[in-house]
Chains A and B, each alone.
Chain A
Amino acid sequence: MAVFQAALLNELEKLYKKKKVLVAILLSLAVIVIGQLVIVGVRSGFGLRGTGSVEFPMLVLSVVVNTILPLFTALVAIDSFSGEFTQNSMRITLTRPVSRFKIYTAKITSIVLFILGALLLLLVFSLLAGFIFNTNSATLDSLGRTVFSYFVSLLPLTVLALAIALLANIFKSGIAVFFVSILTFLALKVLGVLFSQYSSLFLTTQLDWYNLFLVNSFPILKILRQFLIMLGSGIMLFTAGFYIFDKKEF
């Protein structure tokens, strides 16, 4: 465990040292500021309320979970694998007395922690903006559901990170991975609209699964099914990704 912790710390430090984290923070804040400006504009321009204090974080989540969060997940995951493959710094990591399984797990964990950090940042700042600039519409129930929605969004994003890590291990070039990911993402989005009866199987639809937790009746069966689908695909992707990573020669 101590070895894994060291590997994870190592990965986190590498992540932290990169400018991408700073860019992620700035972009997240920009989304909140722009979103709030749009809401204020709509309110004074069209006479609509736009959002209340709790709806604003939900609006932010619905936007970022389909745009900048997958994008940053992809960038960080690609950087963590393809970047190190091409710079040959992966060799340095591998020369340490750490098994490849632990390195792979540490890399994935650091990406997940990055996503969690981004979600928390968005949650805190959008809640702040929501309460400062919007009419109060919060109840304990809706506030709880909002916070919960942010946390459950971590799961589909983790699956996404695993999928991109697999792609990064298949293709050598980071740019290729990036384009394949984006094209697949868009294709799945379109397929989700065209075949709406099967859309719950697509990862792009699962990104919106936090909506299930907002339903009054709490559709536990549906949530369980979605959870198992994500768990199943997560296990598959992790195993496949690790298999290739394990077999790779540097």
Chain B
Amino acid sequence: MKFKKKSVMLVSFTVGTLLLATTALADIASKSGYDELKGAIKLTTEQASEKFDSFTLDYSMALKDNGKTLESSNETLKVDRTKDASENISSGLSLNGDKRSSQSYSDKTTMIRVSENDPTYYVTEFTKERKDDPFTNPFKEDEAADVEKIVDAIVGSLKDHVVVTENTDGSKAITGSLTEVQIPSLVNAVASFQLKQEFNNQNSNQNNSKMPRLTKDVFVKEVKGSAKVNADGVMESILGTAVLSGKDEQGTVHDISLEALVKVTGINTTTVTKPDLTGKKVVKDIARYGDAEMSNPEKFVGKFKNDIIIEKDSKFVKVGERFVDITQIDGKSVEGRYYSEFKPGFEEYATSLSSFKFEAKFEQEQKTSANFEGTNDSGDKVRGHIYLSEYEGQVNFNIDNFNGSFGRGLMFNSSFSPVLD
């Protein structure tokens, strides 16, 4: 009898262990629908940013109130990586009822924009070939892995709501839907509070907005999503719908739904064509900004000035002029003198920072801005920052520790315009 009891216990313990071990292994090995969805998104973004030579990305979004469209936008992005060119066509309806539609084209050397209500083609030509990757992989960012972990933890038990159905041709359909019972109450409360604030803030910014103002009984009613993954594992389309329900001041129930659809089509078959500008109204400009190297820095040699202004008896009074005199400049460094000239009777405003020489080396990346260190007449060090703006034709000159002078109503302006006459 004693022996029998022992063996029964041994058997049942072994059975329990085996049962636990096998199902645990099966559970870890089984790929949930959520994992498949994640895998498909990762693969698609990776291929889109590295492997595909060309593709078309369609993105459309609609915001509806009880079925009536409040806001919508459609965007088509065509990317041709072999030519480094991309084309973007976008149209939409804004919350206050304005329609918009515009088109843009961009390649290494040009950027062209045109919109429906202004048929002028704005062309920007770049003096240098720029490196512009139209689509970067967000999963390659440094913080992506951490963000993924956090998202996994938040999604938690909702993972099981993602269902995968496999078709005979190897493609898959991934679907998921959550209704109010299935959304955890806390998630629902936080999400609906967030959305309510968001919508109501938008409302107060735009006067003639058609957006209903929800004040009572706001809750997330439904969240749905579906995605199509082709036989290669690339996601061809993903559709998401979320419905927020609530009542406005009058007690009318509004179901506000947000639908978003992203489609990837024309993989390796998309062609991007440069708009034909013959016979069109064209405004051209040459890109100065965004161009790291200045073509002819000598143009900045000379005097730049602005007015010294104080506030006196509730009026602005000019008490003198500040000068930045650049004496020497090349691609590496800039040298010069800063001084102030006060009108007679206002000399008392002169401080120890009113006059000094400076010398600065340009920063590596940006050849137009530099931190300088100078010495004033009494031998003290003065630090600050100089920025040569090609775009405005001005010099921005900032002195650290200038705050001391504000007390006496002296104002400081960091933009200096060239003295041309």
Contacts and interface: CB of A to CB of B under 8 A. Distances in A.
Our verdict on whether A and B bind, yes or no, reads yes
B181 A43 contact: no
A172 interface: no
A214 B216 CA distance: 27
A146 B179 CA distance: 13
A215 interface: yes
Contacts of A237: 16
Interface of A: 42-43, 46-52, 54-55, 58-59, 62, 135, 137, 142, 145-146, 193, 196-198, 200-201, 205, 208, 211-212, 214-217, 219, 221-222, 225-226, 228-229, 231-240, 242-243, 246
Nearest to A193: B153
Task: Report the interface size class on chain B.
Answer: 35 or more
Interface in B178-218: 179-182, 184-186, 188-189, 192-193, 196, 214-218
B182 A236 contact: no
A208 B218 contact: no
Contacts of A246: 5
Interface stretch (B139-147, B156-164, B379-387): B156-164
- Would you call the interface of chain A mostly helix, strand, loop, or mixed? helix
A216 B19 contact: no
Contact of B17 (A196, A221, A232): A232
7 contacts: A43-B216, A48-B193, A55-B188, A137-B180, A215-B160, A232-B18, A238-B16
List the 5 closest A-B pairs by CB distance, nearest first: A235-B16, A232-B20, A232-B19, A236-B16, A49-B219
Among the interface residues A142, A200, A221, A240, which one has the most CB atoms of the partner chain B within 10 A? A200
A34 to B, nearest CB: 14
Among the interface residues B12, B20, B32, which one has the most CB atoms of the partner chain A within 10 A? B20
Contacts, number: 134
A131 B82 CA distance: 63
B189 A48 contact: yes
A236 B30 contact: no
B306 to A, nearest CB: 51
A55 B185 contact: yes
Given A55-B181, A146-B181, A239-B9, A201 B153 contact: no
Contacts of B179: 142, 216
Given A47-B196, A49-B246, A62-B184, A196 B156 contact: yes
Interface in B230-249: 245-246
Nearest to A50: B189
B12 A239 contact: yes
Given A225-B30, A232-B23, A233-B16, A42 B9 contact: no
Contacts of B26: 225
B216 A145 contact: no
Contact of A216 (B15, B21, B161, B216): B161
A244 to B, nearest CB: 11
Given A49-B245, A222-B32, 6 more contacts: A47-B214, A52-B219, A142-B181, A216-B182, A225-B30, A232-B15
A31 to B, nearest CB: 14
Contacts of A146: 181
A135 B219 CA distance: 12
B176 to A, nearest CB: 9
B13 interface: yes
Contacts of B17: 232, 236
B60 interface: no
Contacts of A197: 28, 152
Contacts of B392: none
B192 A201 contact: no
Given A196-B152, A201-B24, A52 B180 contact: yes
